[in-house]
Amino acid sequence: MKKAIALTAAAAVLLPALAFGGAKVSSQKNAARGQTENFWGGNSAIDGNPETAWMVPGDSENVGEYIQIEVPQGKLDKIAFQNGWVKDEETFSDYARVKKMKVEFVCCTSSMGDVKTTFTTHIDLADTADVQVVDIENAEVGENGFGGWLKLSIVEVYEGRDFPSVAISELAVHMEEYDAVPTIDSSSEEDPEHITMDMMDDNAKSFFATPSEGAFVEFSSILGLSSVRIVHGPKTHDRVKKVKLTANNKSVVTEIPDEKGEHLAMIPTPFGYTGSAFGPVKMEVLEVYEGTSAKGSVAIAELKVKATNNPGF
């Protein structure tokens, strides 16, 4: 019996001044009857759904095939992968997976049509369906406010048990982050003594409180927002256990531990790199840890928002 491969908590490490190009690939498997034309295309590797994948044709040699993600000017930090087609254990083992990739940054087309490669490295991927994160040296990419393409080419593969086609279910390019100060557009009902701005004041002793059921905050910025850090409010109140962040009709759900400190939750990456979401971001509290006395009211002491780029540059 096929067994589904579950995403681990590491999936939170997944899932701008350039055209929203998304992903381009060297080739892709032809769609079968009932599938969309680009079912096996590059955008299936950046859609936040591990049951879809970029897959090359069966007659391909695999080596030399590539996927390109358009990214803004900034610094590379890491790349997160789900290697192979991880729809279930059978699809993962049946199809080939990537063992080694060449990573290049290609950019800067001049008026003469010149293109140059400004960064090159090689990375190794483990033969696992779990999310794996590969650190990339913080290389500066792009220039004069313009980004370019991060090109990932297959160098070596793990062979599939039944089929030669190599696949990647998910990948996300993580850019270096910096602090952002968003605008709070709306929220669920505020406690008059604990308003939304109390979680944006760099003071963990003050906090925002709102009814736990249906709790949400919607915020926006001119910057490309990439992630949030949540600091729990006092234990008298309910505290965030599970949170959903939605941007551009895509959502990421993250479970938050009931511990002190800042807790990471990623904003969706609709175009394959962190900070590619634009427009409002909605944060919804799905589950809470119960408070001791102010039960039914969830508290957030600090909400720190990060960005990776300035789309309006």
pLDDT band at 110 (very low <50, low <70, confident <90, very high): low
More confident residue, 287 or 18: 287
Residue 142's pLDDT band (boundaries 50, 70, 90)? confident
What pLDDT was estimated at residue 7?
Answer: 40
Confidence of residue 6 (pLDDT cuts 50, 70, 90): very low
Q: Could you tell me which residue, 48 or 3, shows the higher pLDDT?
A: 48
pLDDT for the residue 312: 57
pLDDT bucket at 150, cuts 50 / 70 / 90: very high
Q: Is the pLDDT of residue 8 over 90?
A: no
Q: What is the pLDDT of residue 140?
A: 86
> Tens of pLDDT along 56-109?
999 999 999 999 999 998 999 999 999 999 999 999 999 999 999 999 998 865
pLDDT of residue 310: 81
User: To 10 degrees, the CA torsion angle through 272, 254, 285, 311?
Assistant: -20
CB atoms closer than 10 angstroms to residue 254: 20
- Give the separation between CA 8 and CA 71, rounded to whole angstroms: 26
Rounded Cα gap, residues 237 and 208, in angstroms: 11
Q: What is the mean pLDDT of residues 30-47?
A: 91
* CB contact at 8 A, 247 and 267: yes
Pairing status of strand 116-124 against strand 74-83: unpaired
User: Does residue 291 register a pLDDT over 70?
Assistant: yes
pLDDT tens profile 191-242: 999 999 999 999 999 999 999 999 999 999 999 999 999 999 999 999 999 9
pLDDT at residue number 4 = 44
pLDDT at 113 over 70: no
